[in-house]
Structure 1
Amino acid sequence: MTVVSGVRVVAGDRVIDNGFVRIEGEHIAEVGEGGPATDGAVVVPGFVDIHVHGGGGATFTTGDADEARKAAAYHLGHGTTTMLASLVTSPPALMLAATRAFAPLVAEGVLAGIHFEGPYLSQARCGAQNPAFLRDPSLEELESLIGAGEGAVRLVTVAPELPGALEAIRLLVSRGVVAAIGHTDATYEETLAGVEAGATVGTHVFNGMRPPHHRQPGPVFALLGASGVVCEFVADGIHLHDGTLAFAASVTGPARAALITDAMAAAGMPDGTYELGGQSVDVAGGVARLTRDGAIAGSTLTMDKAFRRAVGAGLSLTAASRMASTTPAGAIGLGSDRGTLQAGARADLLVLDEELNVRRVMRAGAWVS
């Protein structure tokens, strides 16, 4: 048994000032109040990142299992106790090989699943996705990937305006895979058609989308206003202005807002030249941009930085915690076990200092070195 006590505990919608968390085995046994506060430490649920391409110099995008382990370990050190491995638009053979390579890591628990960000995306809004490999949705390809993953494929991003996209969304939902809308030039109506077909996540909302206009609201307004959609936000001050983040979160509420990193291999590494989906990326001042056209190419963010940024933008501790943990866990079907501090949940928690820097990380009841 382990007891973390004398801390402020952020548990759901409340902050317990003199709180404790009692852990038995891999799970939380009790969360409560009692004992004097010690040194201002704050305990929050482990972060859940449902959109991340790599970090610490390693990438998920090549389908290399050793690289995936390194990237997962890097983000674990920054408090991400649950993550999806996000793959970018790639040739069919690479996507299939990566799925087979990562399925054992999902079974082992290193990863919570695989996220395909593409290849069924808009040419006009492809951002840092490789346009050479974009293609219209294929039900046959999706069936092949889902089958190869044996339960590992958890999230797929689709542009709903493409031919066959609505059928693809319906197929994904029928197979227990979460469908997301992103990298899209869709109209407001086309976006809502994707939601009606079953999409429940908006991929890094505002970014890689037709920009909102008061006469042509497009996907941003549609996703922010859709009651059943969780909207991802990259809280790095680059993808979104802090005022935009605060406004968007006020529209969705923390129950429909998920902080993500969209991090690439350069996270935690020096400025320089890196690779993403077969394309060269230049990182300067911690900002990643495609060499060929300067488009934003993911980020160098970690979830602890995103959490602090959200609080700095004016969000409460409870709201930021839900956005960094509870809501993304629920968005991918893990809400009863991850992203929360309550009895019966897996014991994933972080001890933060007064400035909300990560001091200690616990995953499945064990402290991470």
Structure 2
Amino acid sequence: MVLRVAGKVVMPSGVIRQGCVEIDGERITAVAEYPSIRDGHWIVPGFVDMHTHGGGGHTFTTGDPESARRAADFHLGHGTTTLLASLVSSPAESMRSATAAYAPLVAERVLAGIHYEGPYLSELRCGAQHPEHLRDADPDELTELLDLGGGTVRMVTLAPERHGALDAIKLLVSRGVVAAVGHTDATYEQTRAAIDAGATVGTHVFNGMRTPHHREPGPVYALLAAPDVVCELVADGVHLHDGTLSFAASVTGPDRAALITDAMSAAGMTDGDYELGGQAVVVTDGVARLRQPDGGPGAIAGSTLTMDAALRRAVAAGIAIPDASRMASATPARALGLDGQLGSLLPGWRADLVVLDDNLQVVRVMRAGAWVD
């Protein structure tokens, strides 16, 4: 039976002010203009979050499949129809067990894959990553993990200045895995070498990176300028000032900027005490930071953001709705090699969509042609 969803349809080319998306089964069959339609809701593609550690009180970082399933369900309720489970730096055995545990969830399409944020990261720019678990890139360890995942691992973040990092990037690319640059103290030249080796994503650009300077541009300028690199941006007003968000998006354009949440388990929860990768986190006024030995706040520890809130923040910062929608869906989907399947409202693509009111609040969510309860 054909299902029709009407409203202001956001297409890759812009907005159909009075449009309709037709769905049959899991797929979109047509998107057309219907002049008689007067439904004022926005219809945007389902959000694609390529970097999230958990939400709704549940986490991906422990390797617990039930917790992962519930975290994915939480974000689905906020319009994220596709996401990666992001792990943090941890011992090799923990990485192996989480990879094996999440492979069935990838097969079920609960998750689109696993993202290793570490452990081949900079001690100087580790942020909320546990410093005891950081290490140089190990091709044998990486090969074992990729073999174990059997296609489950979709992206790995590493610092290009670490020993063996460039060879690791080449290994990842040869295996069809996205190599991302992040948590790095690399110079501009070292970052360019990583891009030349095949890195195609900048992990939460500006955050966890050497501060840009006009005489030493570092990784930020290299990533923003690279035509084949998609730059992740955390649009929560904490990781990035709104002016920085709009500036970065204007440099990259919407086809190279991806909105992410970098959310941890506290997303959608009250202020209080939480945990991330074995480290204590305190959330105050919705901002997550490591708890210091004296009890005070330390480094930013992920976020409490959801993708619908990120979209609203981007639009409030001056980014047009069609561009912000592309940054939340089509661009991350393409960065992960999922374009042609999802991320846009196009015939033949999976019927993932979000219905938003005029305030860009979620009204309904559809995934694979079925409304989410």
The answer to whether the superposition gives a TM-score over 0.5 is yes
Counterpart contact for 1:42–1:352, Cα < 8 Å: yes
Counterpart contact for 2:8–2:39, Cα < 8 Å: no
The aligned runs of 1:224-303 (5 Å cut-off) are 224-292=224-292, 294-303=298-307
Structure 1 residue aligned with 2:66: 66
SS at match of 2:245: helix
d(CA) in 2 for partners of 1:89, 1:108: 26
> Which moved further from structure 2: 27-36 or 14-23?
27-36
The aligned runs of 1:144-159 (5 Å cut-off) are 144-159=144-159
Match of 1:312 among 307, 310, 316: 316
Structure 2 residue aligned with 1:352: 356
Answer yes or no: is 1:87 the counterpart of 2:114.
no
Give me the TM-score of the superposition, normalised by structure 1.
Answer: 0.99
Match of 1:368 among 358, 368, 372: 372
Shift of 1:282: 0.1
Shift of 1:5: 4.1
d(CA) in 1 for partners of 2:239, 2:170: 30
Shift of 1:185: 0.1
Structure 2: stretches of 5+ with no match in the other structure? none
d(CA) in 2 for partners of 1:114, 1:135: 20
Amino acid at match of 2:94: L
SS at match of 2:355: strand
How big is each residue's C-alpha offset from its partner over 1:187-216, in whole Å with a ceiling of 9 and x where there is no partner?
Answer: 000000000000000000000000100000
Shift of 1:40: 1.5
The aligned runs of 1:1-369 (5 Å cut-off) are 1-292=1-292, 294-369=298-373
Structure 1: stretches of 5+ with no match in the other structure? none
d(CA) in 2 for partners of 1:147, 1:71: 26
Give me the TM-score of the superposition, normalised by structure 2.
Answer: 0.98
Shift of 1:310: 0.5
Amino acid at match of 1:172: L
Amino acid at match of 1:166: L
Counterpart contact for 1:230–1:258, Cα < 8 Å: yes
Shift of 1:183: 0.2
SS at match of 1:294: strand
SS at match of 1:255: coil
Amino acid at match of 2:273: T
d(CA) in 1 for partners of 2:90, 2:163: 19
Counterpart contact for 2:6–2:21, Cα < 8 Å: no
Amino acid at match of 2:164: G
Amino acid at match of 1:55: G
Counterpart contact for 2:243–2:317, Cα < 8 Å: yes
Counterpart contact for 1:362–1:368, Cα < 8 Å: yes
How large is the Cα RMSD of the aligned pairs? 0.8
How big is each residue's C-alpha offset from its partner over 1:32-63, in whole Å with a ceiling of 9 and x where there is no partner?
Answer: 10143434200000000000000000000000
d(CA) in 2 for partners of 1:338, 1:213: 38
Shift of 1:322: 0.6
Counterpart contact for 1:9–1:44, Cα < 8 Å: yes
How big is each residue's C-alpha offset from its partner over 1:331-357, in whole Å with a ceiling of 9 and x where there is no partner?
Answer: 000011111000010000011111111
Counterpart contact for 2:55–2:264, Cα < 8 Å: yes
Q: Report % sequence identity.
A: 67
d(CA) in 1 for partners of 2:164, 2:92: 17
Amino acid at match of 1:107: A
Shift of 1:258: 0.2
d(CA) in 2 for partners of 1:3, 1:43: 14
d(CA) in 1 for partners of 2:287, 2:165: 32
d(CA) in 1 for partners of 2:25, 2:39: 26
Shift of 1:3: 3.3
Shift of 1:14: 1.2
SS at match of 1:295: strand
SS at match of 1:161: coil
d(CA) in 2 for partners of 1:75, 1:2: 27
Amino acid at match of 1:332: L
Counterpart contact for 2:282–2:290, Cα < 8 Å: yes
Residue correspondences, number: 369
How big is each residue's C-alpha offset from its partner over 1:138-182, in whole Å with a ceiling of 9 and x where there is no partner?
Answer: 001101110111100000001001110000000000011000000
